[in-house]
Structure 1
Amino acid sequence: MATTNTLATAAELVFVPSPGAGHIFPMLELAEQLVNRDPRLSIAFCLMKMPFQQTSNYDFQPSASGRLRFVDLQPTTVDPETPPTDAFASFIDGHAPQIKEAAASANNTASSYRLAGFVLDMFCTSFIDVADELGAPSYVFYTCGATCLAFMLHVQSLFDRGEFDPDELKDSDAELAVPGLRDPLKGKQLPSAVVQPDWLPALMRHTRRTRLAKGILVNTFHDFESHAVASLTTGQTPPIYTVGPIIDLKMKGDRTAGEKEIVDWLDQQPTSSVVFLCFGSMGSFDEEQVKEIAAALEASGQRFLWSLRKPPQKGKSEFFPSEYDDVKEGLPEGFLDRTAGLGKVIGWAPQTRILAHPSVGGFVSHCGWNSTLESTWFGVPVATWPMHAEQQLNAVMLVKELEVAVEIRMSYRKTSGEVVPAEEIERGIRGLMAAENEGRRIKVKEMSDKCRKAVEDGGSSYHSIGRFIEDVITD
Structure 2
Amino acid sequence: MFCTSMIDVANEFGVPSYIFLTSGAAFLGLQFYVQALHDEQKVDPTEFKGSDAELVMPCLANPLPAKVLPSVMLNKEWLPNTLSQARRFRESKGIIINTFEELESHAIDSFSIGNTPPVYPVGPILNLNRDGDCDEESDKYKDIKQWLDDQPLSSVVYLCFGSMGSFGADQVKEIACALEQSGHRFLWSLRKPPQKGKMEPPSDYTNPRDALPEGFLDRTANSGKVIGWAPQTDILAHPSVGGFVSHCGWNSILESIWFGVPIAAWPLYAEQQLNAFQIIVELGLGVEIKMDYRKDLYSDGNENVISAGEIERGVRCLMELCDEKRERLKEMSGKGKKALENGGSSFTWLGRFIQDTVDQLP
Task: Give the letter for the 1:239 counterpart.
Answer: P
Matches within 5 A, 1:222-237: 222-237=101-116
Deviation of the 1:140 alpha carbon: 0.2
SS in 2 for 1:345: strand
Task: Give the letter for the 1:130 counterpart.
Answer: V
Partner Cα separation in structure 2 for residue 329 and residue 364 of structure 1? 23
Matches within 5 A, 1:193-232: 193-232=72-111
Deviation of the 1:417 alpha carbon: 2.3
Question: Which residue does the alignment assign to 1:314?
Answer: 196
2:313 paired with 1:427: yes
Partner Cα separation in structure 2 for residue 204 and residue 192 of structure 1? 13
Question: Which residue does the alignment assign to 2:253?
Answer: 372
Counterpart among 171, 175, 186 of residue 304 in structure 1:
186
Question: Which residue does the alignment assign to 2:29?
Answer: 150
Partner Cα separation in structure 2 for residue 192 and residue 365 of structure 1? 18
Partner Cα separation in structure 1 for residue 250 and residue 7 of structure 2? 25
Matches within 5 A, 1:44-443: 122-161=1-40, 163-251=42-130, 253=133, 256-316=138-198, 318-415=199-296, 417-434=303-320, 436-443=321-328
Which has the larger displacement, 180-189 or 280-289? 180-189
Identity rate of aligned residues, in percent?
A: 59
Task: Give the letter for the 1:285 counterpart.
Answer: F
Deviation of the 1:162 alpha carbon: 5.8
8 Å contact 2:159–2:187 — kept in the other structure? yes
Question: Which residue does the alignment assign to 1:464?
Answer: 349
Task: Give the letter for the 1:437 counterpart.
Answer: C
The C-alpha deviation readout for 1:301-336, integer Å capped at 9, x for no partner, is 0000000000010133x3311111111122111110
- Give unmatched runs, 5+ long, in structure 2: 297-301
Deviation of the 1:242 alpha carbon: 0.5
Deviation of the 1:348 alpha carbon: 1.1
The C-alpha deviation readout for 1:341-395, integer Å capped at 9, x for no partner, is 0100000111111001111000000000000100000000000000100000010
Partner Cα separation in structure 1 for residue 328 and residue 342 of structure 2? 24
Task: Give the letter for the 2:54 counterpart.
Answer: E
The C-alpha deviation readout for 1:138-161, integer Å capped at 9, x for no partner, is 000011000000011000111223
Partner Cα separation in structure 1 for residue 169 and residue 236 of structure 2? 27
8 Å contact 2:47–2:74 — kept in the other structure? no
Task: Give the letter for the 2:140 counterpart.
Answer: G
Partner Cα separation in structure 2 for residue 164 and residue 405 of structure 1? 33
Task: Give the letter for the 2:337 counterpart.
Answer: R
The C-alpha deviation readout for 1:97-138, integer Å capped at 9, x for no partner, is xxxxxxxxxxxxxxxxxxxxxxxxx11001100111111110
Partner Cα separation in structure 2 for residue 203 and residue 462 of structure 1? 31
- TM-score with structure 2 length normalisation? 0.94
Partner Cα separation in structure 2 for residue 470 and residue 375 of structure 1? 32
Task: Give the letter for the 2:133 counterpart.
Answer: G
8 Å contact 2:268–2:295 — kept in the other structure? yes
Partner Cα separation in structure 1 for residue 113 and residue 81 of structure 2? 26
- Size of the aligned set, in residue pairs, is 352
Deviation of the 1:244 alpha carbon: 0.5
Question: Which residue does the alignment assign to 1:65?
Answer: none
Partner Cα separation in structure 2 for residue 437 and residue 245 of structure 1? 26
Which has the larger displacement, 174-183 or 208-217? 174-183
Task: Give the letter for the 1:253 counterpart.
Answer: D
The C-alpha deviation readout for 1:157-180, integer Å capped at 9, x for no partner, is 112236443443122221111211
Which has the larger displacement, 301-310 or 254-263? 254-263
Which runs of structure 1 show a deviation greater than 6 angstroms over 4 or more consecutive aligned residues? none
Task: Give the letter for the 2:116 counterpart.
Answer: T
SS in 1 for 2:222: coil
SS in 2 for 1:306: strand
8 Å contact 2:279–2:285 — kept in the other structure? yes
Task: Give the letter for the 2:279 counterpart.
Answer: L
Partner Cα separation in structure 1 for residue 45 and residue 177 of structure 2? 34
Would the alpha carbon gap of residues 392 and 211 (structure 1) be closer, same or farther in structure 2, given more than 3 Å must change?
A: same
The C-alpha deviation readout for 1:440-469, integer Å capped at 9, x for no partner, is 111110100111000011100011111222
Would the alpha carbon gap of residues 430 and 372 (structure 1) be closer, same or farther in structure 2, given more than 3 Å must change?
A: same
Question: Structure with the greater relative contact order (CA < 8 A, sep ≥ 6): 1 or 2?
Answer: 2
Deviation of the 1:429 alpha carbon: 0.3
Aligned residues: CA RMSD: 1.4
Matches within 5 A, 1:28-39: none
Task: Give the letter for the 2:313 counterpart.
Answer: R
8 Å contact 2:190–2:226 — kept in the other structure? yes
8 Å contact 1:384–1:405 — kept in the other structure? yes
The C-alpha deviation readout for 1:385-424, integer Å capped at 9, x for no partner, is 0010000001001100110000001000113821111111
The C-alpha deviation readout for 1:220-258, integer Å capped at 9, x for no partner, is 000100000011122521111101000112346256111
SS in 2 for 1:132: helix
Task: Give the letter for the 1:302 counterpart.
Answer: H
Question: Which residue does the alignment assign to 2:299?
Answer: none
- Give unmatched runs, 5+ long, in structure 1: 1-121
Deviation of the 1:199 alpha carbon: 1.0
- TM-score with structure 1 length normalisation? 0.72
The C-alpha deviation readout for 1:69-107, integer Å capped at 9, x for no partner, is xxxxxxxxxxxxxxxxxxxxxxxxxxxxxxxxxxxxxxx
Partner Cα separation in structure 2 for residue 162 and residue 279 of structure 1? 37
> Which structure would you say has the larger Rg?
1
Partner Cα separation in structure 2 for residue 163 and residue 296 of structure 1? 45
